[in-house]
Amino acid sequence: MIPLLTFLSDFGSRDAYAAQVKAVILSKVPEAKIVDISHEVEPFNLVSAGWLLFTSYRYFPAGTVHLAVVDPGVGTARAVLLVRKGGHVFVGPDNGLFSFLYPADEVVEVSWRPQGAVSPTFHGRDVFAPLVVKILTGHGLGVPGEPKTDPICLDVAAPMVVHIDGFGNVITNIPCGRLSSGGSVEVNGTVVNAGAETFADIPPGSLGLICGSAGTIEIVASRARASEVLGAMAGMMVSLG
């Protein structure tokens, strides 16, 4: 069976960081298939990164390993986590990145560290990638660590903006079923109450509410960036009316 790995980060595509992480993994596991979820996460935005991971992992088969590196605390004493949920394995820092996955089947604080030099500014390449290699080669069960009963967990249950996509759509974590007929959503002081089924149903220059592909409410604009109109960003609280 070909090892399958997803990779999510805020490294962007301008620099070589994502490629170096992949190179470390593929140099040891050349048969691995790596699928990029995104490397364009807003830098340091744990809510947005966590949401992208949470809404993507379920489309991959059980047994997939998911590497997530959005790590503002790189080089500090923050823990390295191995999380298991629904047959999937997640690797990343203990900083709230996995909040949408909790409760998980198992959370382990990994004490293992690779031999050799470790850059204090690039644990993605020097710590997380070697850990992924151990997991993909079947040594994950033997990775030293202890159960983590108190991983950092952000309050992602509160109604909020969880992601701004490439079109400027303002994605919330509010299930579509919670919005009553004629209901409204307020974000950053602006109330939006025009419901629509498709983007085309929204008049030019107007804001509207649709049920997005993740099953949650999105605030969108007709051929415009709703995020710029609203001044919205991931992590901003919203309210239902």
Residues 46-70: pLDDT tens digits? 999 999 999 999 999 999 999 999 9
C-beta of residue 209 within 8 angstroms of C-beta of residue 196: yes
C-beta of residue 128 within 8 angstroms of C-beta of residue 91: yes
Does residue 143 lie in a domain region?
A: yes
Per-residue model confidence (pLDDT) at position 215: 96
The yes-or-no verdict on residue 73 having pLDDT over 80 is yes
- Can you read off the two tokens belonging to residue 190? 């602006």
| 129-136 and 17-28 helices, crossing angle to 10° | 30
Closest listed residue to residue 114, CA positions, set 24, 43, 200, 26: 24
Among the three residues 120, 147, 174, which one is the final residue of a domain in this structure?
A: 147
Sheet with 190-192, side-by-side order of all strands = 190-192, 185-187, 238-240
Does residue 155 lie in a domain region?
A: no
Among the three residues 147, 179, 208, which one is the final residue of a domain in this structure?
A: 147
Per-residue model confidence (pLDDT) at position 140: 58
Rg, Å, the chain Cα set: 19
Same domain, 132 and 221: no
pTM of the model: 0.95
Domain count, the chain: 2
Query: Looking at 29-33, 102-106, 118-122, 183-187, which range is the least confident one?
Result: 183-187
Verify cis geometry, omega within 30 degrees of 0, for the bond prior to 103: yes
Residues 119-168: pLDDT tens digits? 999 999 999 999 999 999 986 566 889 999 999 999 999 999 999 999 99
Note down the domain range covering 83.
4-147
Task: Tell me, rounded to whole angstroms, the distance of Cα 37 from its chain centroid.
Answer: 9
Kindly report the CATH number assigned to the domain that includes residue 207. 2.40.30.90
Does residue 219 lie in a domain region?
A: yes
Closest listed residue to residue 22, CA positions, set 80, 69, 81: 69
d(CA 199, CA 166): 15
The yes-or-no verdict on residue 179 having pLDDT over 90 is no
Kindly report the CATH number assigned to the domain that includes residue 69. 3.40.50.10790
pLDDT grade for 181, boundaries at 50, 70 and 90: confident
C-beta of residue 46 within 8 angstroms of C-beta of residue 15: no
Interstrand relation of 88-93 and 65-69 (parallel, antiparallel or unpaired):
parallel
Interstrand relation of 33-38 and 4-9 (parallel, antiparallel or unpaired):
parallel
Same domain, 126 and 226: no
Cα separations in angstroms, 111 against 79, 108, 128, 146: 8, 9, 12, 8
d(CA 123, CA 129): 8
Residues 183-232: pLDDT tens digits? 899 999 999 988 888 999 999 889 999 999 999 999 999 889 999 999 99
Same domain, 127 and 172: no
